[in-house]
Structure 1
Amino acid sequence: MSVTPRIKVSTSLRDGGAEPTSEEHAELAASLSGEVFFTVPLGTAGGREPDATWPLPGSRANGTAAVYYAEGRTHLQKPFLFADGFNYGPSDLPALFDHFNTPYQEGRPGFLDQLRARGFDIVLIGFDERHTHIQHNAEVAIHAIRRAIAERRGSEPLTVGGVSMGGIITRYALAKLENDDFDHETDTYLSWDSPHNGAWIPLILQQLAYFFEKLAPAEPSQAALIRSPAAQQLLWAWVPDAKYSGEVATASELRKDFVRELADLGDFPRRPRLLGVANGRGDGTGRPLPAGEIAFDWQALVASATARFQPDKGTDQKIGGMHAGLQLRRSTTTEVPALDGVPGGTMDSFGKVADALKAKISGEYRSGAFVPSVSAAAVTYDPITWDIDPNLNLLDQAPDRFHLNDIAFDTDNTPHSAVSGNLADWILIHLT
């Protein structure tokens, strides 16, 4: 009989504890504010300004498109629509352009400029609230697709996709348009390290985000992103607060409903060729993170936190704990796989949290998997139960094991959404 992955939190009183002072609260809040721990920032403010912008109003969400015409062109002819991904707050499209256009090889233009040189007009799709429901932002993407068709001169088909959650948003948008019998005129769909079967943020770090929100509120709240509709829909394992004990696999009703909605739409659009790239390796080789070992251990006079890498299944396996004042909490998990070290696009959340707390952490322990390769590659398995070995060698699998028609993996487990020559050149070959 299979056991559903779950978490258990025990609470006790700590001897000799003292409540933090207002000064200690303020110091901790200052260290926790600023950079969001659970995202990969794409570019920095001040990127290349677009040739045109389109407002993209929707009934439940709003957005903007930034248009960069192909070389020597002042109108839309061969649209390449690419949606922004998971983060907190509004998109910064000039920064997104710069991220994907930073040269990855000396003497060669960036990826987007190479597409522009091949005649593609780049249309970046941004969202006013990247952390809201995927279905709401899919309405923004649908608006962009309709406008691209209306503004395009000629009959060149569209290429539509996105990075991270942007690939899920456009996947849903295209499938929804097909279900509504609207011709989206798209012949290629492209996802870049998109969590087709779910993403992973370590459960102990989710708990710490909630814990510190109560202990020392800061802006932006690190817990606000974990609590957001987008995170609930993307994360395979999720907890609603720091005290929660219970099932974690697809624990949010928002995720269950979204997975069902996608299935009702056919899971993927049927008309386009389905392409994808993964920042993780495809040969089953992950990162050397010892399951169950301590990633960092922070000790202060009035508070402490210990974070372990996720153990590999088992019963009541320790993942860490935290205390503030007199209260002490310890967390264990049952039947949760060791996803931190599996092949996949990485995120340095362990490192960011440790840095904020001024805790020591080894360089090799800073990053773990965020989008496992089995998810980015859209392997055909149940996204609810995750009945798959996340260390599976995907290079040995038959084509019918994947929802995508073709997939490229990076040569190493690189940061989520990173642009490498291996991935960019593969896309350029397959699109041109």
Structure 2
Amino acid sequence: MSGITRRSGLLLGGAALLSAAAGAPDRPWAEWDVAVIGAGVTGLSAARNLADHGLRVVVLEARDRIGGQLYTDHGFTSVPVELGAGLIHGAAASTWELVDWAGAETVRVRSEPRAAPGTSVDGAAPPREDESAADYLRRLGVPESDWPPVSDENEPLSRWSAAWMVERGEFDWWSAPRADFRVVGGYDRLLAPLAYGLRIDLGRRVRAVRWSGGGVELVVSGPGGTERVRARRCVATLPIRVLRAADVAFDPPLPAAHRDAIAALDATDAVKLLMEFDRPVLPADADTLAWDGDLDVWSVSRLSPTAPEVVSVWAAGEAARALLALPEDDRFDAGLRALGEAAGQAPPDPVRRTTHDWTRDPHSRGAYLYVPPGAHDAPAALAAPVGGVLFFAGEATTGENTVEGAYDSGYDATDGLLADL
């Protein structure tokens, strides 16, 4: 499947990009035009845009891999599994161009298209600034059975800003029918056209950002000790809970509007339990199973008749926090019970299992962002450049919590930086 090309920043494109980047030098400059903090999808797309416009760019990543919360595990079983983001949402996602450039294949997740009829708020009275989405829908008289299924993948609507959802058209986005797709061979295949030829320093954790009108100096810790990286500009793509925890110090402190925005936003918690079985445990004609409990159950493996049966049991919000409070063995026992109830029969014990606790991951401190009541202006406030040298990008500046949202944010933020330069 092919999507619409929305990015002019990939100036070479496709095979030409990979061929040209393969011979790129290591670029050991002491000074950089731009330093990008974070090699997730946002950081990589930001660096790609800047490098393709001729700037000297270095990407500093605390992890020992790229991708951030796009994390494909190739060692768990013969089928790559996604410990983080897993789906392309809809046929119009901007990331389809990465599918094309990477030469990747996709498969559609076999389930009923997502829909929640009757939740359009077009023409309705506007929400109050501090009103939650749940209170707003109740005030409009929308029955809960017709509410969009935000809580299936995030916090309940009582924790979302109604004003933000209306401004961004989120009620319609969540309610509209949508097909989802997986990338065969691993979602991380889409990282190659973004990362190839870039200077990416792994295992480099930024501890402090010292900024002034003349540029930035980053204090970075790594295997070789502490070093300083200087650049004319800096793009920070840090997750919201990392910003809230002040894991990176800003000197001088960020303006009050930025600090208030960081304090107003938050991230949900999520857990994904991945289990491999030696026999099929889901119906042959479905990848997802409807279930009235708090956990979603779906297969991630049916890419060929000979693939092992790998099932993901997934939860977010309160359900995820309840699971994460359990010891790991009890957590998987709860996942097996959910699978058995959804499938209508008790599954066998898994032959392998794995998980990743994003809440305890020091480089994320949670899953993905949500916008609480009263915080609808916070993403835009955080996106404002600081002193003409410091730029923020990522879901905390957009409120988007999808891979395509991260991809778009990296380009959008650096388009502004390029215009400023």
Decide: shared fold, TM above 0.5: no
TM-score after normalising by structure 1:
0.30
**Which structure is richer in relative contact order (CA contacts within 8 A, separation 6 or more)?**
2
